Structure 1
Amino acid sequence: MINDIRVAVVVCRCPVGQVAHNLERTRYWTIQATKKRAALVCFPEMNLTGYSHRETIAEHAITAPGPEIEALVRLAAEHNIALLVGFAEKRADGRLCASHMVITPAGRTGVYRKLHLAPPEADLFSPGETLPMFRLSGVRFGIQLCYDAHFPELSTCMAEASADMIFIPHASPRGQAADKHQSWMRHLPARAFDNGLFIVACNQTGDNGDGLVFPGNAVVFSPSGTIIKTRLSGNPGMLVADLTVDQIRHVRCHRMRYFFPHRRPELYRQKPIFNDLDP
């Protein structure tokens, strides 16, 4: 990481199938992030189409490129801010993916497709097949979507690719924001601490009109696994955080705080030797 960066993460209601409405809310929150001088704004998982694991979500899936993405490219350019937006994506071969796209002010795009599908999603969505990374304004980052965060190897792979931060947009329903936060505290700080990088997470909020209700929370963890900022309100809103070079150097420039370089991956690939010590 060679530059400080200010990021915004949005907690918003994303009704299923109301793409025009969700695009308008994306525009609204992008303008708010611009007013806060953020360089990048991240939206929840599938914020454009709404999140659903019912077959009807296929009717609302969008293509990339397509008119919705073109509108967002114009939005990013107009306000000089990078967007991280999510949607159910209909691919050229007809497969459905849970996707998250990066759109830069210069009109460059990249897409991450969810690699680990939750059991209710597996019969409908297809998992991604590649592990893309992104570089913007001197910052290297990866994206994971909700269920992805439960697999520590994925974060390790991103750290091996020199990630400075990982964005983890969620569509994680049920409970109150404080309850969901406690659930996240079981694994998200570990992803930051073990890999010496920032973790930035946000969630949908409210009733999506398709049988799910979301608690609406967001959190940013430092590379030492401590909370920089958190948002526990169930109301729509935005969290803005400054992620600095000093915060990452605090870990990576200290020989006893940065564990990642001392891993022994060649050893982990070996088959363990089992010793039976029973008489």
Structure 2
Amino acid sequence: MKDIRIAAAISRSGAGDVCGNFEKMTQMVRWARQAGADLICFPEMNLTGYSSASEISAVAETVPGPISQDLLRLAETEKIAVLAGMAEKDTDSDRLFITHLAALPQGGLHVYRKLHIAPPEQGTFSAGNTVPLVEFQGLKFGIQLCYDAHFPELSTLMAQKGADLILIPHASPRGTPAEKYRSWLRHLPARAFDNSLFVVACNQTGETRKGLHFPGIALALDPSGNVIAKDLSDREGMVIADLKADALDRVRNHKMRFFLPNRRPRLYEREQQDHVS
């Protein structure tokens, strides 16, 4: 990878207020660009607002559609990669997905559909079935959404596919920023350390009209699982993190700290098959 500066946004999003959410996002995109960032990642479902109730379908859109096209124009105009979330309506059925889009400044729109649907979401949303990676300015990154981060196999698969970074936007309610930070430190450093890659996570903040309260927090972890930037202020803003190629190289060139080449997937698969049978 190449050195890159990224921003992880903490933002408040009104459920159903697509226009207001997009306007706020636009201002934060400009702030990130002024800070020298080449990429900014917003929390889960920041554009449509987060809700697991079926009424979110009223603002869900297909991709491509007006939301995704506006996002792509914003990335091209401001010359920065923008990652933003929405409720997506399937073009061929009534299914809804929790989707994160990556709009690149040179054109190109990438789509990630949440793979692991949390129990409160399962009556409304369907799960995606693909694990895409995005290449941008010498960086290869994957996206996971909130509950996805609790499944270690997904991060390992992304690492095997060549990811240097995993971005994990959240809409994770309840608790204080300090409590959410302690919760994240139980599993996010492991995703970075075990797979020798950067991890950056961000959450929504504030209370929605649906009675959910999100503790505002964002953090960045290096490939050794160390926190390199954080914001626990509970206010709208962003974390700016410089991801350095040499930090990745130091781990991946160290024979005792780079674990992936020594995995034994055939053994795991055989043991799993024997257990099932």
In structure 1, how many angstroms separate the alpha carbons of the residues matched to 2:222 and 2:95? 36
1:36 is matched with 35
* Pairing of 1:149-160 with structure 2 (within 5 A): 149-160=149-160
* SS of equivalent residue, structure 1 residue 269: helix
Matched, 1:110 2:110: yes
- TM-aligned CA deviation for residue 67 of structure 1: 1.6
- TM-aligned CA deviation for residue 5 of structure 1: 0.6
- TM-aligned CA deviation for residue 91 of structure 1: 1.4
2:7 is matched with 8
1:147-196 CA-to-partner distances (Å, cap 9, x unmatched) read 00000000011011010010000000001111001000010000000000
In structure 2, how many angstroms separate the alpha carbons of the residues matched to 1:228 and 1:243? 9
* SS of equivalent residue, structure 1 residue 75: helix
1:126 is matched with 126
In structure 1, how many angstroms separate the alpha carbons of the residues matched to 2:10 and 2:33? 16
In structure 2, how many angstroms separate the alpha carbons of the residues matched to 1:16 and 1:62? 14
Percent identity (aligned):
53
Q: Which amino acid aligns with 1:4?
A: D
In structure 1, how many angstroms separate the alpha carbons of the residues matched to 2:196 and 2:157? 13
* SS of equivalent residue, structure 1 residue 130: coil
1:258 is matched with 258
1:83 is matched with 82
In structure 2, how many angstroms separate the alpha carbons of the residues matched to 1:59 and 1:74? 24
In structure 2, how many angstroms separate the alpha carbons of the residues matched to 1:13 and 1:101? 18
* SS of equivalent residue, structure 1 residue 128: coil
In structure 1, how many angstroms separate the alpha carbons of the residues matched to 2:70 and 2:135? 22
TM-score w.r.t. the length of structure 1 is: 0.96
1:186-245 CA-to-partner distances (Å, cap 9, x unmatched) read 100000000000000000000121121100100101000110111111110110000011
1:82-131 CA-to-partner distances (Å, cap 9, x unmatched) read 00010001110221000000000122001000000000111110100111
Supply the RMSD in Å over aligned alpha carbons. 1.1
Runs of 4 or more consecutive aligned structure 1 residues displaced over 6 Å after TM superposition: none
- TM-aligned CA deviation for residue 253 of structure 1: 0.9
* SS of equivalent residue, structure 1 residue 229: strand
- TM-aligned CA deviation for residue 10 of structure 1: 0.3
In structure 1, how many angstroms separate the alpha carbons of the residues matched to 2:220 and 2:119? 27
Name stretches of at least 5 consecutive residues in structure 2 with no aligned partner: none
In structure 2, how many angstroms separate the alpha carbons of the residues matched to 1:91 and 1:254? 45
Deviates more, 1:161-170 or 1:64-73: 64-73
Q: Which amino acid aligns with 2:205?
A: T
In structure 1, how many angstroms separate the alpha carbons of the residues matched to 2:256 and 2:154? 24
- TM-aligned CA deviation for residue 260 of structure 1: 1.5
Q: Which amino acid aligns with 2:150?
A: H
Name stretches of at least 5 consecutive residues in structure 1 with no aligned partner: 275-279
* SS of equivalent residue, structure 1 residue 115: coil
In structure 2, how many angstroms separate the alpha carbons of the residues matched to 1:196 and 1:271? 25
In structure 2, how many angstroms separate the alpha carbons of the residues matched to 1:189 and 1:244? 17
- TM-aligned CA deviation for residue 62 of structure 1: 2.0
In structure 2, how many angstroms separate the alpha carbons of the residues matched to 1:63 and 1:207? 27
1:101 is matched with 101
2:237 is matched with 237
In structure 2, how many angstroms separate the alpha carbons of the residues matched to 1:8 and 1:138? 17
Q: Which amino acid aligns with 1:208?
A: T
* SS of equivalent residue, structure 1 residue 22: helix
2:182 is matched with 182
- TM-aligned CA deviation for residue 271 of structure 1: 2.2
Q: Which amino acid aligns with 2:250?
A: H
* Pairing of 1:134-213 with structure 2 (within 5 A): 134-213=134-213
- TM-aligned CA deviation for residue 55 of structure 1: 1.1
1:126-146 CA-to-partner distances (Å, cap 9, x unmatched) read 100111111111111100000
In structure 2, how many angstroms separate the alpha carbons of the residues matched to 1:63 and 1:36? 32
In structure 1, how many angstroms separate the alpha carbons of the residues matched to 2:128 and 2:72? 23
Q: Which amino acid aligns with 1:51?
A: Y
Q: Which amino acid aligns with 2:20?
A: H
